[in-house]
Structure 1
Amino acid sequence: MDFQLENKNALILASSQGLGKAIAEELVKEGSNVMLVGRYEEKLVKAQEELQKLGLGKVVYTVTDLTKLEDIQALVKKTVDEFGSIDILINNAGGPPAGTFADMSDEHWQQSFELNLLSYIRTIRESLPYLKQKGGRIVNIASSSIKEPIQGLILSNTFRTAIVGLAKTLSVELAPDNILINTVGPGRIATERIQYLDEVTAEKKGITQEQLSQQLLKNIPLGRYGEPEEFAKFVTFLVSGANTYLTGQSYLVDGGMVKSI
C-alpha cells in the first residue's frame, strides 16, 4: 500500500520519546519531514540523530513548553520556516499526575488543562492555515480512558474525554477543507508513562511491579503489553494518503483490553 507520505511535513508534539517518537520514526521511514518537539534539548538531539538515519525525510527539533502560547506560536512558525507548510499534526502530551479527586488541588487541575487540552486547542488553531492548504491530517493522542475511565487517573479521565468532544466537533467544521481529524487512545503500551503508572499502582498496592504486570496482563486478551511501533503504525495510516474517509472517530490500540462497545 502506498501511504503517499513522501515529502509530507509533520509536526509531532511530545516526540523526544515514547509514542510521539515512535510515530516520528514511522513517518520518517515513509519519507516525511518531521518536526520533533519536547522540553529537554538533550533528548531531542538524541532522537534527531537516531531518526535522521532511518529515511529520506528531514528531521529537526524545537524545544517547547506546550503550556505557553508564545512557545506554540514560535513552534508552528519554525515548522513552516523549515518545511514550507504543515500537512500532518500529531497532538500529544505527557500524561497528568495519577491520583483521586481528593488528591487534586486547583493547581493540578489548571496544569493538566493547560498541558493536556489547551495545548491541543492552541496547536490546532495555529496550524490550521497551513493544514487547509492541501487537506491536512490531525491525530490527537489520548488514552484508553476515552472509552472506559481508569481508576486513580481522574485528571486523565477528564481531559482525555474532552479531546474526543473537540475532535468530533472539528471533524464537521473542518470537513469542507478536507481536513481529517481523529483521536487514538493507547492501552497498555510499553512506554515510560506506563512504567511510571505501574510504579505508582504497585506501591499503593504493596506489591512488586512484576506482580502487578501479571495481574494486568490477565485483562488483555492478547496477553502482553503493546509495543510503541504497533501504536505508531496505526497512527501512520490515519495521517496517510491511504486514509481518505475516516474522520471524527475515536480508536483504541489496546490489545482488546477495554471491553466497552
Structure 2
Amino acid sequence: MDLGIHGKTALVMGGGGGLGRAIAAALGAEGVRVVIADIHEESLHASYEAMRSRNVEALALQWDASDLSLVDGKCAEIEARFGPVDILVNNTGGPPPTPASGQPASLWETQFRAMVLSVIALTDRVLPGMRERRWGRVITSTSSGVIAPIPNLAVSNALRMSLVGWSKSLAREVGADGVTANVILPGRIATDRIRFLDEAKARREGRELSQVVAESTASIPLGRYGEADEYGSAVAFLASNRASYMTGGVVRVDGGLIASV
C-alpha cells in the first residue's frame, strides 16, 4: 500500500529509543526524510546508522527536549537541511516509577517541562508552516496509562493524560487547515523501557523477572508483548494520506491489553 508520504519530512523525537527508532524506520521505508532527535548520543548514533543502512535520508540531532530554548535553533537546522517539518512525532521519555502521593513538587515540575511543555512548544513551532501548506501530521505517543492508569506510574499517568486533552483540542483547531492531530499509545511493547519497568516491579515485589513477565503477557489477549516495528507501522499509517480523515483520536496498539471500551 502506498501511504502517499514519499518526500515528506518527519521529525521523530526520542528517536534513539526502541519505539522512536521503529517509528523512524517505518517512515523512512515510505520514502520520508527522517530527522531523529534524542538526548542520548550513543543511541541516537545507533538509530542514525540503522537509517543509513536502509538508505533512508536522515539527520541526527542530539537534543534535550526539556530545554525549550533549543526549539527554534533545532527547527531552523532541520529546515536548512530538509525543509519544513510535515510530520511531527512527539515521543518523550518516561518518568521514574512513583506512587501518586508524596512526590516533591520539583519532580512534577521537571517532568511536566520534559513531557508536556516540550511537546507543546515544539508543536507550536512547526504548526504554522503545516497550516500554511494545508498539510501536516501531529502524532503524540503516550501510554496505555492514559486510559487505564498503571500502578506505580502516577507521574506518567497524570502528565500523559494532559497531552490527550491538548491533542484533542488542537485537532479541532487545525482540522480545517488539513492538519491532523492524534494520540497513539503503546501497550506492552518489547523495549528497554518495558524491561526496566518489569525489572523494577520484580525487585519491588521480591519476585523473579520471569514471573512478572509471564503474569504480564497472560493479561494480553494476544498472549505476547508487541514488537516495536508493529508500533512503528501504526504511526506511519497515522502519518499517511490514507489516514487523512482520522483526527482527534486515541489509537491503541496494545494487543487488546486495555479491557475498557
TM-score range, shorter-chain basis?
Answer: over 0.9
2:127 matched to 1:128? yes
Aligned counterpart, 2:186: 186
Cα distance between partner residues in 2 of 1:214 and 1:256: 16
Tell whether the 8 Å contact from 2:84 to 2:126 is kept in structure 1 after alignment. no
- Aligned-partner Cα distance in 2 for 1:233–1:42: 24
Distance in 1, Cα, partners of 2:35 & 2:169: 27
2:87 counterpart of 1:88: yes
Q: Is the 8 A contact 1:65 1:72 kept in 2?
A: no
The 2-side partners of 1:63 and 1:52 are apart by 17
What letter is aligned with 2:223? G
Amino acid at match of 2:16: S
Which residue number in structure 2 is paired with residue 239 of structure 1? 239
Could you list the per-position Cα deviations for residues 138-186 of structure 1 after superposition, in whole angstroms to 9, with x for gaps in the alignment?
1000000111111111101101111110010000101121100100110
How far off its partner does 1:3 sit? 0.3
Structure 1, gaps ≥5 residues long = none
Distance 1:14 1:88 in 2: 14
Corresponding letter in the other structure for 1:54: R
Q: Give the 3-state SS of the residue equivalent to 1:116 in structure 2.
A: helix
Equivalent-residue separation in structure 1 for 2:213 and 2:42 (angstroms): 31
Q: Counterparts of 1:124-203 in structure 2 under 5 Å?
A: 124-132=123-131, 133-203=133-203
Distance 1:101 1:45 in 2: 35
Indicate conservation of the 8 Å contact 2:4/2:241, yes or no.
yes
Count of paired positions: 260
Aligned letter for 2:75?
Answer: V
Stretches of 4+ aligned residues off by more than 2 angstroms: 40-43
Task: Indicate the residue corresponding to 1:22 in structure 2.
Answer: 22
Give 1:103 deviation, angstroms. 4.7
Aligned position for 1:79: 78
**1:46 CA displacement:** 2.1
Structure 2: gaps of 5 or more residues: none
RMSD across aligned C-alpha pairs, in angstroms?
1.1
Please say if residues 87 and 134 of structure 1, whose CA atoms lie closer than 8 Å, have aligned partners that are also in contact. no
C-alpha deviation, 1:84, in angstroms:
1.2
2: distance between equivalents of 1:147 and 1:251? 11
Report the 3-state secondary structure (helix = DSSP H, G, I; strand = E; otherwise coil) of the residue aligned with 1:138.
strand
Alignment TM-score, normalising by the size of structure 2: 0.97
SS of aligned partner of 1:65 = coil
* Cα deviation code 1:44-94 (max 9, x no counterpart): 222111111214x41011111111111122221111111111110000011
C-alpha separation in 2, matches of 1:8 and 1:53: 20
What is the CA–CA distance in structure 1 between the aligned matches of 2:186 and 2:84, rounded to whole Å? 28
| TM-score when normalising by structure 1 | 0.97
CA distance in 1, matches of 2:106, 2:79: 34
Q: What secondary structure is seen at the aligned counterpart in 1 of 2:243?
A: coil
Which amino acid in 1 is paired with 2:173? E
Which residue is equivalent to 2:47? 47
Alignment-mate amino acid for residue 107 of structure 2: H
Residue identity (%) = 35
